[in-house]
Every structure is written in structure tokens, then in C-alpha cells.
Amino acid sequence: MSAVITDWETAPEPRVCTLEDYRGAEARWCPGCGDHAVLNAVQRLARDKQLPPEKTVVVSGIGCSSRFPHYMATYGFHGLHGRAFPVACGVRSRRPDLNIFVVTGDGDCCAIGTAHWIHAIRYNMKLAILLLDNNIYGLTKSQTSPTTRLGERSSTHPQGSFVAPLNPLSVTLGIANVSFVAQTVDWNPPHLYATIRAAHEHDGAAFVRVLQRCPHFTSHVFQEPQRDFGRLLLADHPDGIPIDPAVRSLFPNRIHHDPRDLPSARELAARDDVYPIGLLYRNRDALRYDQATSRGLGKTPAEKLAAVEETLERFTI
């Protein structure tokens, strides 16, 4: 006897997400701000990878870049200044099934958030970390940030900054257990997209510094490499950031750089005659702390209570 399949028993159509499924509130960044390009790249990546919106979360701190969660139709956590990393690590430790993006700025990450940044890299939990670096505090109206160049004027240094800027790439490459460090620019969408995609696909903490334009306060900072691609140095390697040959041809200066070579990555990051872009370093074998914190997630409430009581019993006198 054969079974009869009725209309209500038919299999549902496979779900296909479009860009609209990832677009949240209208972005309120200034016209010409590089953050728009990063937002578009992340939304395209989510569409291309078909990341379920309900399984995707964007975590941020405070600053122009940290408005990001509001503009994604996914889960988001707009945290405190400099505290994006501990929040993201907490989410990862309890929800290993989520796709997590951390969006931070040069002030948010490299000043008040420095300690969290260092330890998040050392823990190497699976996070796609996007540092949007425009060399200034933009949201609070033009104060010197840790990456502001010597001589640049701001509201806190009207005569010009007199302290050498911090290099986020060099700092990250100096942290124990680092596993992925890359740099890209907001004004080259193909390279930006490819870099963010590689970061998302990396099994660990993927740190991407995005050289990002601020048309209001630091419009002059990246004008030279925007107009002359010869000021950019493309790190090119079969195991690096995969880009189309047509895009690669836009960069007259290229270097064959093996991303497994940490000393060479540090040398490349320290160069100040050019802006190196591409994958500087990747270590697929670095320890991942979230693989330890995820233990016991499948326990029932009764099993968790029994484990707590067993632990407390050790302290009985």
C-alpha cells in the first residue's frame, strides 16, 4: 500500500537570503565615510555565504565604527567603550554555532580597549575582527587617537600630535598565540571583500585592520594612496588573500610574502615607506581557547547542578 502525500506534507522551498535580509537601519555615517564600504562588504559576504541572520551577531564598542550593529539586520551588541572583545569572547564561549563579527575603531580598540584586544588575540577564539582605523576620534569630534600621526592637529593637540603613533599590525603580531593578521583599504571593494571573507573563514581570531577614510576630520590622511596605488604594497602569495587577476594588476608594487613567516610579517608591518595590504600572517595551528570553554554545553540543568555541587564539595572542611 503506497502512502499519499498531501500538499501540506511537501518539503518547504530552500531558504535563500538576499542583501535585504541583512540591511538594518539606514546608515547615518557621513557621506564618503569608509565605513559604508565595510558595511556593504559584510552584507555581501553574509549574502554570499548564506549566513542565517538569526545565527549572526555583530559586536561593537563605542565610536563611529561601533554603530555597525544597528545597520545589520542580524543580532547585535552595541557595548561599552573598549569592551567589544570581552563581550564577543563571552558570546563565542557559550554559542559556538554563531557567526561573530567584532567591529571596532582605532580609539575604541587601541586606547581604552587595549588590554581586551591583547587578550582576545591571545585567546584566539573564532572571531572576525575589523579594526576601522581613520587615525582620529570621529564620533567625539576630532581628538588625537593612538594611531594619529606625528604633527597632525586635533582638538586635544591643536599644535600637532608629538607622540609617535601606535602600529596596530606590529602590536598584534607581537601577541602570543596570534593566528591571523591582515590589512586592507576601504577604497578597493574587491580587496576589502576578499580580506573580510578570509577573516570570516579563518578558524580563530582573525584581525583585519582597514585603512578607513574620514571625510570630515582626516580626509587628507589617505589621499596619497587613494590617488596612487603605487603607494600600496600588495602581499601576494598562493596562500594569501585570493583576488582576481584584474584586481591584482591594479597594484604595481607587489611582494611575494609567505604568510606563515612571522619574522617577515613583522618586518612588512613595520614598513612606513608604503602601506602593506594583504595577509601578513596566518597560523592555522594556534590554540583556540573557545574549544575549551565550549565543553559541557550539552549538559542538562540537572547535570550542571551536579557538577557545581561536586566542585563545591572539594572545599568542604
3-class state of residue 290 by DSSP: helix
- Calpha distance 269→192 (Å, rounded): 18
Nearest residue to 104 via CA among 139, 75, 73, 52:
139
CA 13 to chain centroid: 33
**pLDDT on residue 121:** 98
Mean pLDDT for all residues in the chain: 93
8 Å CB contact between 25 and 70: yes
Question: Residues 134-168: pLDDT tens digits?
Answer: 999 988 888 999 999 999 998 899 998 999 999 99
Instruction: With a cut of 80, say whether residue 4 has pLDDT above it.
Output: no
Q: Which amino acid would we find at residue 227?
A: R
- Calpha distance 257→280 (Å, rounded): 8
**pLDDT on residue 296:** 75
Domain range list for the chain: 16-313
Q: Let me know if 162 is exposed, middle or buried by CB neighbors in 10 A (0-12, 13-18, 19+).
A: exposed
| Whole-number percent of the chain with pLDDT over 70 | 97
- Name 236's Cβ contacts closer than 8 Å, sequence gap at least 6: 248, 254, 255, 256, 257, 278
**pLDDT on residue 9:** 63
Instruction: With a cut of 80, say whether residue 3 has pLDDT above it.
Output: no
Asked if the 16-313 domain carries CATH number 1.10.340.30, the reply is no
11 pLDDT tier (thresholds 50, 70, 90): low
Question: Residues 33-73: pLDDT tens digits?
Answer: 999 999 999 999 999 999 999 999 999 999 999 999 999 99
Question: Residues 126-143: pLDDT tens digits?
Answer: 999 999 999 999 888 889
Residue 129 sits at the vertex; the CA angle it makes with 100 and 246, to the nearest 5 degrees, is: 105
| Whole-number percent of the chain with pLDDT over 90 | 83
8 Å CB contact between 148 and 154: yes
**pLDDT on residue 55:** 98
**pLDDT on residue 2:** 57
- Calpha distance 20→157 (Å, rounded): 43
Q: Let me know if 164 is exposed, middle or buried by CB neighbors in 10 A (0-12, 13-18, 19+).
A: exposed
**pLDDT on residue 303:** 86
Q: Let me know if 107 is exposed, middle or buried by CB neighbors in 10 A (0-12, 13-18, 19+).
A: buried
292 pLDDT tier (thresholds 50, 70, 90): confident
8 Å CB contact between 84 and 119: no
What is the pTM for the complete model shown?
0.91
First to last CA, the chain: 70
Grid-cell match 588575540, residue found: 121
**pLDDT on residue 1:** 53
113 pLDDT tier (thresholds 50, 70, 90): very high
Instruction: With a cut of 60, say whether residue 242 has pLDDT above it.
Output: yes
**pLDDT on residue 307:** 85
Rounded to an integer, the average pLDDT of 192-214 is 97
Print burial letters for 213-239: b (CB count within 10 Å at least 16), e (below 16).
Answer: bbebbbeebbeebbeeeeebbbbbbee
Cell readout for 279 is 595577509
